[in-house]
Structure 1
Amino acid sequence: MAFYSIGDVAERCGINPVTLRAWQRRYGLLKPQRSEGGHRQFDDDDLQRIEEIKRWIERGVPVGKVKALLDGDKAPEPGNWGVLQEEMMGTLRQVNPAKSRAQIAIFCQHHPVDVLIDNVFIPVRETLSLDHATARIMGSMLDGILIEQAITSLTDSRTKAGRDALLIGWGVEDRTRLWMEAWRLSHRGWRINVFAEPLELPHPEFFPGQHILVWAGKTLSDEQRQQLVHWQKQGYVITAHGAADVL
């Protein structure tokens, strides 16, 4: 039987080791074996269980209720991500960066980053995009913290095995979303170097031999798709990242 370290599992499943430890210690969701040296050892059954946990959380089930589902109890209705959104909004209204930073760190301990980005961070940012001064101040503070979290994750990912790539925003204006996508990718086993300024045209000829990921929002336009195919036919390693262009 094959065994995996917590680092191996984190890379395979796209889950931060801190989150895996919280699932084990706080919620009793995992019961890894221990090596003679006391290190956690996960097997294939553990990996399947982790994927099942992720599926429930992605449906919006609170992490505290997942164990009952895994133990065979009746499935509850999917949870309401609005609860976490309101918690974040309440903290942001205090305009205290330290409190907001701590709250996001706690969220990240309990939920996969992918899920938080799509169900909490993006909706909260959309709410804060209202055109009045207080919302803009709160939104700017949140963006700074999210970018900071992304940079920390990118830096940490470079100390681990993974795939190297450049992430370039293509014809988009939301710089914070670009950093959030870099954060997402770093939790999928990529070691990302992100271009802070989106480009109108990525120019893959400037980066021979490097893997380029382009992010253009949710979908590529027809013109962008044609251009992407053209670059690929020329031999450039360039692919699209996004909800409709899964890697």
Structure 2
Amino acid sequence: MTQMLSDSRGIEELNNTELFPIREVSRLTGVNPVTLRAWERRYGLISPTRTESGHRLYSQADIDNIRSITDWIERGVSVSKVGKILAGIGGLGAQERALHSVIDAAEQSSWQAQVRQAVNEFDENRLDQLYGQIFSTYPLPVVFQELLMPVWREFAARHDGFGQISEWLFLDSFLRARTLQRVQLTRGSASQRVLLASMPGGCRELELWVAGILMSTSDVAVSVLAPGQPLEELSLVCSKMRPQALVLFSNSLPSADTPKKLVRLGLSLNCPLLLAGEIADMALDSLSGTAIGCLGSEGQLMQRRLQLFLAGRLDT
């Protein structure tokens, strides 16, 4: 949640810990206040402290982050993509830097080679052993994004040779069973509940389960609706389950009428509507100004933006 300071304490903090008001940050960075607010509220790129009256106070780390954002934009990267880049190189904090640095190319290649061999041999015991070893060694985002899902996509794309479809089905079935268990474990006693559904034809079942795992936290439980869930019936589902938000996931290119369909769906819901997956990046500009939020397609970024949105700190 946003850290709140009383106005008097805010002045004291400003003097003692070098927190800067937005006008000073604008002068130091050359970024106007309107843009700074948009980077915070729409994209979740910065997180200033707030006084009780709502005034923003920025730390030196915030200023450094703003300068990094500006550098990437000046190189031609759109602001909607900057968060993903910074998460990859550590611009959004120590946790992201740690996750990025825990595995190098040699380790990644070795683990993936072992997984491929187990799949080639249809050796479920060995695959289960590797799965446990990987999870005991690396953080969850690294397990899926850097190790398992890239191998899964390789097998999904190789359907020409004899036995390749069987290999992919073997791996897909194994991972779907394990991810379903993990999604159920993450529900726990979370105080907030989010529903996750796929756009029609937008992804395979495993991709949806993995997205649910990556978005979940100890405070936010993600309930995954089965693939094939009719969009027109989501208003009924949400009225019964009463989630804090509904997230639609897709890795497919949106059609020309997708924004209109989503706006209509959003109007029928009793909760906010969010997008995740590659569609969130591709449809971001077309949904600008609507009530639909975009979480992005990278695991840590989706989780971070979802948390910010539920805390009321990420604009749609």
Q: TM-score, normalised by structure 1?
A: 0.62
User: Between Structure 1 and Structure 2, whose CA radius of gyration is higher?
Assistant: 2
Q: Give the drift of 1:124.
A: 1.2
State the number of aligned residues.
182
Q: Give the drift of 1:151.
A: 1.6
Aligned to 2:167: 138
Q: 1:239 aligns with which of 263, 266, 274?
A: 274
The structure that is helix-richer by fraction is: 2
For the Cα contact (< 8 Å) 1:150–1:182, is it kept in 2? no
Q: Secondary structure at the match of 2:195?
A: strand
Q: Does 1:95 align with 2:129?
A: no
CA distance in 2, matches of 1:82, 1:221: 36
Range 236-245 or range 166-175, more displaced? 236-245
Percent identity between matched residues is: 13
CA distance in 2, matches of 1:169, 1:138: 25
Change beyond 3 A, Cα 1:51–1:214: same
Change beyond 3 A, Cα 1:162–1:242: farther
Change beyond 3 A, Cα 1:220–1:119: farther
For the Cα contact (< 8 Å) 1:168–1:214, is it kept in 2? yes
CA distance in 2, matches of 1:197, 1:103: 28
For the Cα contact (< 8 Å) 2:232–2:265, is it kept in 1? no
Q: Secondary structure at the match of 1:95?
A: coil
For the Cα contact (< 8 Å) 2:198–2:248, is it kept in 1? yes
CA distance in 2, matches of 1:95, 1:237: 43
Q: Give the drift of 1:215.
A: 0.6
Q: Does 1:190 align with 2:203?
A: no
Aligned to 2:141: 114
Change beyond 3 A, Cα 1:197–1:52: closer
CA distance in 1, matches of 2:170, 2:232: 29
Q: Secondary structure at the match of 1:203?
A: helix
Once the two structures are superposed, what CA deviation does each residue of 1:80-129 show, in whole Å capped at 9, x if it has no partner? 63332212101212211121012112112222222232222222122213
RMSD: 2.7
List structure 1 segments (4+ residues) > 6 angstroms apart after TM superposition.
none
Aligned to 1:154: 183
Q: Give the drift of 1:187.
A: 5.2
Q: Secondary structure at the match of 2:163?
A: helix
Q: Secondary structure at the match of 1:149?
A: helix
CA distance in 1, matches of 2:213, 2:146: 15
Change beyond 3 A, Cα 1:108–1:189: farther
Change beyond 3 A, Cα 1:204–1:149: same
Q: Give the drift of 1:194.
A: 1.5
For the Cα contact (< 8 Å) 2:188–2:218, is it kept in 1? no
For the Cα contact (< 8 Å) 2:246–2:274, is it kept in 1? yes
CA distance in 1, matches of 2:100, 2:218: 16
Q: TM-score, normalised by structure 2?
A: 0.50
Q: Structure 1 regions of 5+ residues with no counterpart?
A: 1-47, 63-77
Q: Give the drift of 1:218.
A: 5.9
Q: Give the drift of 1:202.
A: 5.2
